[in-house]
Amino acid sequence: MSTGGVTELQTTLHARYGKDKVRVLRVVRDGAWHHVVEYNVTALLEGDIDVSYTHADNSVVVATDSIKNITYYLAKVSPHILVPEHFALHLGTHLVSRYAHIHKAFITVEQLRWTRIPLNNTQSKAGEEKGHTHAFYRDGEDKRVVKVEVDASAGKDRLVGHVISGISDLLVLKSTGSSFSSFIRDEYTTLAEVDDRIFSTSVDLQYKFAPVELPVPADAKQIDFKLGEAKTADGTVWDAVGVAERARKVTLEVFAEDESASVQATLYRMAQLLLVQNAGVQTVTYSLPNKHYIPVDMRYIGVENVTPPSKAEVFMPIAAPSGLISATVSRK
């Protein structure tokens, strides 16, 4: 095949490939007490794969179809399936352990909500969870999103996990307890200062853990993977489940309770508290659209709906544009 002079170019290649949007629902049966998780999984590989791009040499290619099959296989056999961080680490570890020339795996797991229907009010054996034994409902479009990199570049027996977890699409609204004033006023300013307004956002949160030292799977099939022993680099035990619960709680609590002077100030309070409550978290990033609701001006018909802002009752939701406020907060 003619390369049309391309071979004369000096090129570097950064290559990564795999399967996207692998959809899986897993049922775990503890007698009559069932658990379900639904995940959208992306699994990408890096390693000595350049020749598949540069020389059409597929001998180094684990087919993306096989990567999909491995995802379903691990969904069946992994003891870590119910916790997205743990499952992502297991899948990544399995991939880099199974293939000598693969040095990094990048796994994203997006978890959709299935919450027990609060009928019957049955309790699990452990007495923690309540609700129906095997019927669930979608109680929100927000997702738990986990991004994991399993890095084997220091050796297959010295695996390191880099984990970023978070929440996306958590839609919230409060009808008071939010103001916005004292901003720059110049020739471009039309916005009125308000001591009371609607505050609504769709929370996108990412929090990064300190790197996790991963245990090497004890068996040839890489299924015996004792994540309970995983430690962060500073020696603290890694607690993905506890952090996830506290992160969601603190986000909702601060949103509800903060007397918000701006989206910026409320965002910073959320991030600060998340860091204070979770020693293993290094950085917190929030991205918060300011979804505007505008009081409808009815003065043309002799009805006051705009002033004072605290008396406004009818609002027009504005789909676009929205503000977009984001920040990453880390420890000193």
Which segments are annotated as binding site?
64-65, 180, 197, 263-264, 290
Query: Which range, of 31-39, 120-128, 163-171, 260-268, touches ligand URC by CB under 6 A?
Result: 260-268
As given in the structure block, the two tokens for residue 14 are: 């950064």
Question: CA 8 → CA 13, 29, 57, 71, 78, distances in Å?
Answer: 15, 60, 20, 40, 48
Residue set of the binding site for O2: 64, 290
Per CB under 6 A, the list member of 119, 135, 154, 191 interacting with ligand URC is: 191
Per CB under 6 A, the list member of 180, 238, 255, 286 interacting with ligand URC is: 180
- Please list every residue from 53 through 72 that binds ligand URC, using CB under 6 A: none
Q: Please state the closest distance from residue 290 (CB atom) to ligand URC, in A.
A: 5
Q: Is 262 in the site for ligand URC (CB under 6 A)?
A: yes
- Residues labelled as active-site residues: 19, 64, 292
Q: What string marks each residue from 147 to 166 as x (binds ligand URC by CB under 6 A) or -? A: --------------------
Q: Please state the closest distance from residue 191 (CB atom) to ligand URC, in A.
A: 5
Query: Which range, of 61-69, 84-92, 209-217, 258-266, touches ligand URC by CB under 6 A?
Result: 258-266
Question: CA 320 → CA 37, 73, 290, distances in Å?
Answer: 33, 43, 10
Query: Rounded distance, CA 250 to CA 138, Å?
Result: 22
Q: Is 177 in the site for ligand URC (CB under 6 A)?
A: no
Closest C-alpha among 221, 99, 218 to residue 152: 99
Question: CA 239 → CA 7, 209, 227, 285, 305, distances in Å?
Answer: 50, 10, 10, 19, 49
End-to-end CA distance of the chain: 56
Tell me if residue 162 falls in helix, strand or coil: strand
Q: Is 255 in the site for ligand URC (CB under 6 A)?
A: no
Shorter beta-carbon distance to ligand URC: residue 168 or 322: 322
Per CB under 6 A, the list member of 148, 290, 291, 312 interacting with ligand URC is: 290
Per DSSP, the chain holds a count of helices (H) and strands (E) of 5, 14
Q: Please state the closest distance from residue 207 (CB atom) to ligand URC, in A.
A: 22
Q: Please state the closest distance from residue 263 (CB atom) to ligand URC, in A.
A: 4
Q: Tell me, what DSSP letter sits at residue 100?
A: T
Query: Rounded distance, CA 320 to CA 325, Å?
Result: 15
Q: Please state the closest distance from residue 292 (CB atom) to ligand URC, in A.
A: 8
Q: What string marks each residue from 10 to 39 as x (binds ligand URC by CB under 6 A) or -? A: ------------------------------
Q: Tokens 């009928």 identify what position?
A: 119
The distance of Cα 181 from the centroid of its chain, to the nearest Å, equals 32
User: Which residues contact ligand URC by CB under 6 A?
Assistant: 180, 191, 262-264, 290, 323
